[in-house]
A = this chain, B = another copy of it.
Amino acid sequence: MFYIVGLGLCDEKDITVRGLEAVKGSTRVYLEAYTSILMVPKERLEAFYGKELIVADRDMVETQSDEILKNADKEDVSLLIVGDPLGATTHTDIVLRARALGIPVRIVNNASIMNAAGVCGLQLYNFGQTVSLVFYTESWKPDSWYDRVKENMANGLHTLLLLDIKVKEQSDENLARGRKIYEPPRYMSIPTAVQQIAETEASRGEGVLDPSTTLAIALSRVGGHTPPPGSPGETIVSGTLEDLLHTPAEAFGEPLHSLVIVGKRLHHLEVEYASEWAVDKVRWREVAEKVYGCALE
């Protein structure tokens, strides 16, 4: 059996009992390490699971999947994915390959940011499509995400923005020379995300994301219960985009960060719930009332 096991979002204890059984019964256990990260090092997972983990990078999962699937028709093999196993085609590929090889597959579900974003108090029903925001460079500022947010906003819906992760990237020079030397991983932070948003709003000028009147909720380390030393666990900060822009980077702390843009279909309980984390509670409520038309008590 080939198990694809979701690990949840924080640490070794977010695996489900079913997932842990699959891991313990597997002869080989791979850890996918390029679409997301947990908040603890691999060694801590290994100690808890009682298994050595083989780190699988994108290349391995996408182009050398036969290596991972080897003998999975005769013994149990697990591939561990941070969050939930499916959601991007990245992992459907390997399932298709397993099917072609006649290997039975089991998905072990877990929380992912796609549903755990509900911790901010906004109803998941009222989220539109999810978008990814990639790192802008001097010459490359892909802004199709703006059109997706615009579609959501037009329907009054919230948007979850997943922020870019760069793992195992090569510098232009190393790439050109074919040197397999990789840059340190980079994770987009809330300040960078909000800056990019303001930049695109300024250049597109369609008023979809006016920094002073658009509410947003910054999510850091969602599900974070037992943080690494020196870093806080789950951190939520709510405010206008401008509020977030003027919040010091330290307030958000370590990665991973994601951002929710609040749509107009807003319930007064949601406003109240997230006011707990507002940079400025008075402004948070004022914008909710006057711009979003939410009747507060």
Contacts and interface: CB of A to CB of B under 8 A. Distances in A.
A129 B151 CA distance: 12
A128 B125 contact: no
Interface in A14-35: 14-18, 20-21
A95 B223 CA distance: 16
B124 A130 contact: yes
Contacts of A123: 87-89
Contacts of A106: 225
Interface stretch (A107-115, A180-188, A201-209, A246-254): A107-115
A233 to B, nearest CB: 10
Contacts of A93: 269
Interface stretch (A63-71, A171-179, A213-221, A270-278): A270-278
A243 interface: no
Max chain B C-beta neighbours (<10 A), residue from A93, A114, A126: A114
B269 A92 contact: yes
Nearest to A222: B109
A119 B107 contact: yes
A155 B108 CA distance: 31
Interface residues of A, number: 59
A116 interface: yes
Contacts of A119: 86, 107, 109
Given A130-B125, A151-B155, A267-B89, A20 B18 contact: no
Nearest to A11: B18
A131 interface: yes
B111 A114 contact: no
Contact of A272 (B9, B85, B96, B225): B96
A88 B125 CA distance: 8
Contacts of A164: none
B17 A273 contact: no
A13 B15 CA distance: 11
Pairs of residues from A and B, 4 with the lowest C-beta to C-beta distance, nearest first: A109-B111, A86-B118, A87-B124, A13-B18
15 contacts: A8-B110, A13-B18, A14-B109, A15-B16, A17-B20, A87-B118, A92-B269, A95-B121, A99-B276, A109-B111, A112-B124, A114-B115, A127-B129, A128-B155, A128-B157
